């Protein structure tokens, strides 16, 4: 009797999970996490970082089992084109944001070309302006969250490789599992290369922009 009740509950849970999209589950997890952080004294310390390492490790295992490393040969020019498109898109977005939000050119460029690296953008820009440092942190953090929830939806209308640009620098770590899950292993290596190149560029681009006399 107990076993049948457990089986019934398990079946109901599976039905509910199947009806929920990945985006809904991610949003729900974010809301629950916010509530736990706000209304409890629980402190997870560096658990987030450890979980991130675990996710990347599991992706590596999955790549090995599916011969995903062969996809390195197919990265080719796209490995360079995608980061260039991401930076170009960031510059265009920054210019568009100036008249819309009244943000000075220097800070608009700095925020946008951080391409999702909020832990670097926030503190770096804050040394010049506390206000824009906070905006940089929030905007780039939201980019990561949007990519996690939005990538599965965006690839329904746009190519899976082009959609990797959504993640910016995060495509090498936190948003790479989403690309692997919905884009497939053939795009995982491209996602990683895209993120690595941007992560190498941003620490040089950001200070240069902030030093511009504009």
pLDDT tens per residue, range 30-58: 777 767 777 777 666 666 567 666 766 76
DSSP H helices, the chain, are 2-19, 22-39, 47-65, 72-75, 78-101, 105-112, 118-126, 130-154, 176-182, 185-210
Q: What is the pLDDT of residue 38?
A: 72
First-to-last CA distance in the chain?
74
| CA distances (Å), origin 134, targets 15, 26, 31, 103, 209 | 41, 24, 21, 13, 17
Q: Which residue has the tokens 């040394």?
A: 127
Cα angle 127, 133, 137 (rounded to 5 degrees) comes to 135
Which residues does the chain have with pLDDT short of 50? 1-6, 9, 16, 19
Domain boundaries, the chain: 1-43, 49-210
State residue 60's pLDDT score.
Answer: 65
pLDDT of residue 188: 87
């Amino acid at each position: 009797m107990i076993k049948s009740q457990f089986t019934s509950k398990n079946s109901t849970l599976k039905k509910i999970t199947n009806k929920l999209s990945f985006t809904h589950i991610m949003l729900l997890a974010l809301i629950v996490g916010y509530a736990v952080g706000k209304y409890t004294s629980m402190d997870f310390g560096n658990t987030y970082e450890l979980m991130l390492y675990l996710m990347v490790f599991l992706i590596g295992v999955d790549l090995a089992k599916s011969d995903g490393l062969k996809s390195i040969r197919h990265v080719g020019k796209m490995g360079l084109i995608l980061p260039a498109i991401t930076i170009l898109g960031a510059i265009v977005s920054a210019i568009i944001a100036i008249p819309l939000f009244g943000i000075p050119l220097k800070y608009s460029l700095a925020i946008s070309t951080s391409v999702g690296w909020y832990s670097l953008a926030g503190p770096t820009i804050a040394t010049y302006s506390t206000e824009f440092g906070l905006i940089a942190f929030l905007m780039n953090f939201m980019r990561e969250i949007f990519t996690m929830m939005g990538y599965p939806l965006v690839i329904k209308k746009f190519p899976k490789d082009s959609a990797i640009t959504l993640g910016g620098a995060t495509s090498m770590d936190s948003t790479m599992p989403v690309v692997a899950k919905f884009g497939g292993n053939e795009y995982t290596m491209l996602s990683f290369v895209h993120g690595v190149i941007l992560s190498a560029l941003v620490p040089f681009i950001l200070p240069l922009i902030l030093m511009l006399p504009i």
